[in-house]
Amino acid sequence: MSKPNTLEKRKKLGLPHIYALLFLIIVVCTLLTWILPAGSFDRVLNEATNRTVVVPGTYHAVESSPVGLFDMFRSIYDGFMDAGGVIFFVFIAYASISIIISSGAFNGLVAAMLKVFKGKARVAIIPVFLTIIGIASSTIGLFEEWFPFIPVFTGIAIAMGFDAIVGLAIVALGAGMGYSGAMVNPFTVGVAQGIAEVPPMSGTGYRLFCHLCMIAVASFFVIRYALKVQADPSKSLVYHDDVAASMSEQDVQNARFSVREVLVLLILLAGIIVIVYGCKTYSWYFPELAASFTIMGILSAIVMGWGLNDIAKKYEQGFTNVAMACMMIGLARGILMVLQAGNIIDTIVYYMSLPLSYLPAWLSAVCMLVLQTFLNFLIPSGSGQAATSMPIMAPLSDLLGLHRDVAVLAFQFGDGLSNIVWPTGFAAIMSGLAGVKIQKWWRFVVPVFLALFVTQALLMVLAVAIGFGAY
């Protein structure tokens, strides 16, 4: 999701709080309204997509309108008001999903699967769980919720003759690829598509293809490493290191996976099917999606036998947990308010487009991927990054002759996987939970990440070649 629960831990790295960073960007953008020339593109309504798009070659100077100090602070409030639809959708969707998570259905599913694969076709656990974790991250946006499973998979991997890095890789890569290949993740793809004025569910088929490609590449690297360690334990990157494997065989046996938990998972599956159908057939948007998530959450709570007060308290906790992420969306939208008030957003887009306009379309798309990947170093929140970058990347794609779905694809590629590599993301937290030194995690994951990044770049090229988003 937007990863709200780990930001305090990043203070130890000497990095600014995400609120401080976004406010500093607002200040910088305010100063730029006094420096950069004001300008604007002509825009027209594309009747085929019912979306307002930038007209290439129409950039022209307009009257300067620098933003004053008082208006800079007002932009924060304006940002929250402008992003209200997105913010309240994230509030409702996250709180509803937290109900499903608190049911323990995912815990039971993982435990049941672990018992099936225990001692049987051991290496098969890798692609199976990369896929299961990836699907959950891709559809309902699980990320930090997988953290408790890191020591679980670490212990299971060691018991199977692998090592802690294999267990960590299953969870980290599964979640990272789930975000990168997200089909309907409401907290990243949903937010980005809303800002870019791209219909919900647009390009879902190609995104699924991208996800499967990444799973295949990651499975190859993790299986190869696991087999090497299984054949010769001294080849392990954590050989002789002390690693705490916290989940015992008894823990697996005691994990609850009864009829109730199965019914919750069926409700989730049915809800996702309904959402896909509603978006494709009736052009559902945030109100309908929020209603669908609410229904899923309440039905799941009823199945679990929780009372009305219990349901209300769990929703209260869900709202509390996601408040920081929603604040980030509002602050990030304040950046857009400043750029729009100063009439310099088109100026920035125009000058960004100049060097890229001399490149082939496919190479411009790859450059967008590189930019989003590095941007995630500064803004590791998926929804926050979408709110910050998409107002610029969407019109930039118009100028480059790319469909806005390509810009959304570059965003989600850049947001997902780099979270398990960048120190501002989750690299330190995940490796710590697995009892693996971060330097050794990097030794394993950086080559895998580079291979997956090349895969993503090739998928961006293919997206341009097939006209992704234009159908």
For the stretch 369-424, pLDDT in tens is: 998 888 777 666 677 677 767 887 888 888 888 888 999 999 999 888 888 888 65
Binning pLDDT at 50, 70 and 90, where does residue 455 land? very high
Residue 47: per-residue pLDDT: 62
Determine, yes or no, domain membership for 471. no
Residue 432, pLDDT score: 77
Tens-digit pLDDT profile for residues 36-81: 999 887 877 766 545 566 676 788 899 999 999 999 999 999 999 9
Residue 263 CB: number of other CB atoms within 10 A?
17
Q: Report whether pLDDT(108) > 70.
A: yes
Structural domain that includes position 39: 4-465
- pLDDT at res. 102: 84
Q: Say if 271 falls within a structural domain.
A: yes
Task: Please tell me the predicted confidence (pLDDT) of residue 217.
Answer: 96
User: Is 470 among the domain residues?
Assistant: no
Q: Using CA atoms, how far apart are residues 153 and 434, in angstroms rounded to an integer?
A: 9
> Could you give the number of structural domains in the chain?
1
Average pLDDT (9-22) is 64
Model pLDDT, residue 251? 56
Q: What is the per-residue pLDDT for 424?
A: 59
Contact 353, 399 (CB under 8 A): yes
What is residue 12's predicted lDDT score, i.e. its pLDDT?
A: 47
What pLDDT is stored for residue 16 in this prediction?
73
Mean pLDDT of the chain: 82
- Does 450 reside within a domain? yes
* Average pLDDT for 270-276: 83
Residues 221-246 have a mean pLDDT of: 83
User: Given a cut of 60, is residue 104 above it in pLDDT?
Assistant: yes
Residue 361 falls within a domain, yes or no?
yes
pLDDT single digits (tens) 290-348: 899 899 999 999 999 999 999 999 999 989 887 887 887 788 788 888 988 998 878 88
pLDDT of residue 203: 84
Percent of the chain with pLDDT over 90: 31
In a domain, 299, yes or no: yes
pLDDT category at 207 given cuts 50, 70, 90 is very high
Q: For the residues 257-283, what does the mean pLDDT come to?
A: 85
What would the pLDDT profile of 111-149 be if each residue is shown by its tens digit? 777 677 655 467 888 898 899 889 888 887 777 767 767
Q: For residue 459, which of 220, 181, 74, 51 has the smallest C-alpha distance?
A: 181
Q: Which two tokens stand for residue 257?
A: 């996976």
Answer yes or no: is pLDDT of 240 > 50: yes
Q: How far apart are CA 406 and CA 389, in angstroms?
A: 14
pLDDT at 378: 62
Q: Is residue 387 part of a domain?
A: yes
SS3 string, the chain, reads CCCHHHHHHHHHHCCCCHHHHHHHHHHHHHHHHHHCCCEECCEEEECCCCEEEECCCCCEECCCCCCCHHHHHHHHHHHHHHCHHHHHHHHHHHHHHHHHHHCCHHHHHHHHHHHHHCCCCHHHHHHHHHHHHHHHHHHHCCCHHHCCHHHHHHHHHHHCCCCHHHHHHHHHHHHHHHHHCCCCCCCCHHHHHHHCCCCCCCCHHHHHHHHHHHHHHHHHHHHHHHHHHHHCHHHCCCCCCCCCCCCCHHHHHHCCCCHHHHHHHHHHHHHHHHHHHHHHHHCCCHHHHHHHHHHHHHHHHHHCCCCHHHHHHHHHHHHHHHHHHHHHHHHHHHHHHHHHHCCCHHHHHHHHHHHHHCCCHHHHHHHHHHHHHHHHHHCCCHHHHHHHHHHHHHHHHHHCCCCHHHHHHHHHHHHHHHHHCCCCCCHHHHHHHHCCCHHHHHHHHHHHHHHHHHHHHHHHHHHHHCCCCCC
Give the Cβ contact number of residue 323 at 10 Å. Answer: 14
At 106, the pLDDT band (50, 70, 90 cuts) reads: confident
Q: Is the pLDDT of residue 468 over 50?
A: yes
Main-chain dihedrals φ then ψ at residue 196, nearest 5 degrees = -80, 0
Amino acid 52: pLDDT:
64
Structure tokens given for 227: 């087999």
Residue 269 has pLDDT above 80, yes or no: yes
* Per-residue confidence (pLDDT) for residue 464, from 0 to 100: 92
